[in-house]
Structure 1
Amino acid sequence: MIEVKNLSKRYGQRAAVDDLTFTVRPGTVTGFLGPNGAGKSTTMRMIVGLDAATSGTVTINGRRYADHRAPLQEIGALLDARAVHPNRSAYNHLRAIAATTGIAKRRVDEVIDLVGLREVARKPAGSFSLGMSQRLGIATALLGDPETVLLDEPVNGLDPEGVLWIRNLLRALAAEGRTVFVSSHLMSEMALTAQHLVVIGRGRLIADVPIAEFTTRACVNSVRVRSPHSAALSDLLAGPDVSIASSERGVLEVIGLSIEQIGERAAEAGICLYELSPQQPSLEDVFMELTSGSVEYRATVEVAPAGKAA
């Protein structure tokens, strides 16, 4: 379990993390989300003692990271996949860590096989692709067979097979009763992997909820209606509290009426419907809405007219 209490980190007048409090519990994959500059990496670094907090506390299984006699057996972390000596092989990198922390040599072979690096284990880590480096970083995090796993952007650089592998791995670790805390900017993947979310913006807590609750708390649900008589149906459904949009021919997105209300009105008017289905907002939709006021960096993109150079 990771317990963060009133945690703050300041760099001069700038607050990177501002009075943050949350708990990451065992048996669940907890996603850590936030825009660039939100303070996610700083928070993770403070959890494992790489950055000192200005105020507040962080404990892992009841103790500060530095107070554990065998910290790698309590929490395994991946913060920078490239933090490996480029001339050292993957095997020797893991073997050196194991030898200096009292971890058995056989565990090195176990994690190499677990992450799928057996064929390249003797090659220099500096020759690895980003995806291979991520696998080595995950192997390092799991080397001590820790009860708590902390991973910062672990799917960066992975191919589709690798993404599926890490998704299944994280869920399997949580199913064993471990604490799993993972950050990512890939909303679609987080929606498939996490059961709970901690969302921050500008260093402050925005949400700490189960993912199912998160996706229903912000955006208004709509109803997708497909009909060969969409124009007539739009006129029929129009009202002061009803919003109707059309992104493609014959399809309406209706907000303000339930499926039952739309179906009954269409039936009474004799209008044929090909589709009538609820449209819940995606994790990305809700995330963008809730963090819109916390985005530190915004880009302005101008699209050149067709046929003209940008």
Structure 2
Amino acid sequence: MIRANGLTKKYGDKPGKYAVDDLSFEVHPGTVTGFLGPNGAGKSTTMRMLLGLDAPTRGGATIGGRAYSTHPAPLTEVGALLEARSVHPGRSARNHLLSLALTHGIPSSRVDHVLDLAGITEVARKRVKGFSLGMGQRLGIAAALLGDPATVILDEPVNGLDPEGVLWIRNLLKSLAAEGRTVLVSSHLMSEMALTADHLVIIGRGKLLADTTVDAFVREAGAGAVMVVTPSAAELAALLSAPEVTVTTDSPGTLMVRGADAEHIARTAAAHALPVFELTPQAASLEQAFMDLTRDSVEYSASVASAASVKGSAA
């Protein structure tokens, strides 16, 4: 288990400016936990503190019940990828992994195994400086898995991967969790997290915003919304009118009803002989739910520009 307890990190002397602010959460074995937040939310700083690379101003973190720095053979306990390019460019992929293996007495056969697992056996003897971003990510993941660790921490592992690589990562993370390992992964790709993660830890401006399952987070974000398609939209909207009910429309014949469930809407329409062609409870996407939750935590927000305004600004 990964446990963060009141993790706090302050840079500089500016009052009230924290990269991470009293952050507490747990990551349990057997699940893929998505670690999400806007740019500048403190995700990378938190991961660095989990791994002892940054010292917290206050609070602490343990992995497997102890601080990462106290593990006698950390590669066999925790596999991590924070920066895929942290490799000597003149070394081959295999020699890079061999140098790591030698620090822990890991046999060369394990090096060959993770090279094959990451799909880079054919380039194992090539120098890393010639690797693409995606190949570098695969090498970083191979390094994280080198010690067959019980805990895996990956920061943006799909960055630079092609569709086949993204599918590979998705299946790999799920299989690691299925084996009972603890998996913490950060990503900006909400669509991928929706397919991969079981649990979510979401932060904004260094503070915890949500610690919940993916299903519960999405369900709560879309709770109470029902799409109704009817040629009697105006009549039905009037009948549903109540202080706790909100009815909006984006197109003729379509209503979006919040505050009334599908059964109530159907009974109301039937009681007044109003035809209904579609009655669909709505679930928000993970992306929309995430955007709604973190809207006030975004540090760098760009305006939506039209093609004409972009052209004008460049002229």
Same-fold call, TM cutoff 0.5: yes
Equivalenced residue count is: 310
One-letter identity of the residue aligned with 1:7: L
Cα displacement string for residues 1-32 of structure 1 (whole angstroms, at most 9, x for unaligned residues): 11111111111133111111111111111111
Alignment partner of 2:257: what SS?
Answer: strand
Deviation (angstroms), 1:115? 1.2
One-letter identity of the residue aligned with 1:5: N
Other-structure match for 1:298:
301
One-letter identity of the residue aligned with 1:9: K
Shifted more, 166-175 versus 252-261: the winner is 252-261
CA RMSD, aligned part only? 2.1
Cα displacement string for residues 146-202 of structure 1 (whole angstroms, at most 9, x for unaligned residues): 000000011112222221211111111111111101111111211211111111111
Contact 1:75 1:148 in 2 (8 A): yes
Other-structure match for 1:33:
36
One-letter identity of the residue aligned with 2:269: A
Q: Distance in 1 between matches of 2:112 and 2:243?
A: 66
Q: Distance in 1 between matches of 2:138 and 2:130?
A: 14
Shifted more, 87-96 versus 42-51: the winner is 87-96
Cα displacement string for residues 20-78 of structure 1 (whole angstroms, at most 9, x for unaligned residues): 11111111111111111111100101111111111211111111111111000000000
Other-structure match for 2:196:
193
Contact 2:225 2:281 in 1 (8 A): yes
Deviation (angstroms), 1:236? 4.4
Does residue 45 (structure 1) correspond to residue 48 (structure 2)? The answer is yes
Contact 1:221 1:280 in 2 (8 A): no
Cα displacement string for residues 78-129 of structure 1 (whole angstroms, at most 9, x for unaligned residues): 0011212223221121112112321110011111111111222222222222
Q: Distance in 1 between matches of 2:60 and 2:121?
A: 39
Q: Distance in 1 between matches of 2:56 and 2:160?
A: 31
Does residue 210 (structure 1) correspond to residue 213 (structure 2)? The answer is yes
Q: Distance in 1 between matches of 2:304 and 2:84?
A: 31
Q: Distance in 1 between matches of 2:243 and 2:213?
A: 34
Contact 1:24 1:30 in 2 (8 A): yes
Contact 1:221 1:281 in 2 (8 A): no
Q: Distance in 2 between matches of 1:204 and 1:252?
A: 37
Q: Distance in 1 between matches of 2:297 and 2:289?
A: 14
Counterpart among 134, 147, 156 of residue 144 in structure 1: 147
Q: 1:125 to 1:84 in 2, by over 3 A?
A: same
Q: Distance in 2 between matches of 1:226 and 1:125?
A: 57
Deviation (angstroms), 1:264? 1.9
| Unaligned runs of at least 5 residues, structure 1 | none
Q: Residues 1-310 of structure 1: matches in 2 within 5 Å? A: 1-12=1-12, 13=14, 14-304=17-307
Q: Distance in 1 between matches of 2:291 and 2:19?
A: 20
Contact 1:219 1:289 in 2 (8 A): no
One-letter identity of the residue aligned with 1:3: R
Contact 2:221 2:283 in 1 (8 A): no
- Normalised by the size of structure 1, how large is the TM-score? 0.92
Contact 2:222 2:282 in 1 (8 A): no
Q: Distance in 2 between matches of 1:20 and 1:125?
A: 37
Deviation (angstroms), 1:248? 4.0
Q: Distance in 1 between matches of 2:95 and 2:230?
A: 64
One-letter identity of the residue aligned with 1:209: T
Contact 2:27 2:33 in 1 (8 A): yes
Contact 1:219 1:285 in 2 (8 A): no
Q: Distance in 2 between matches of 1:309 and 1:293?
A: 30
Alignment partner of 1:257: what SS?
Answer: coil
Cα displacement string for residues 252-278 of structure 1 (whole angstroms, at most 9, x for unaligned residues): 222122111221222233333322111
Percent identity over paired residues:
61
Shifted more, 39-48 versus 234-243: the winner is 234-243
Q: Distance in 2 between matches of 1:205 and 1:240?
A: 33
Q: Distance in 1 between matches of 2:234 and 2:92?
A: 65
Shifted more, 266-275 versus 85-94: the winner is 266-275
| Unaligned runs of at least 5 residues, structure 2 | none
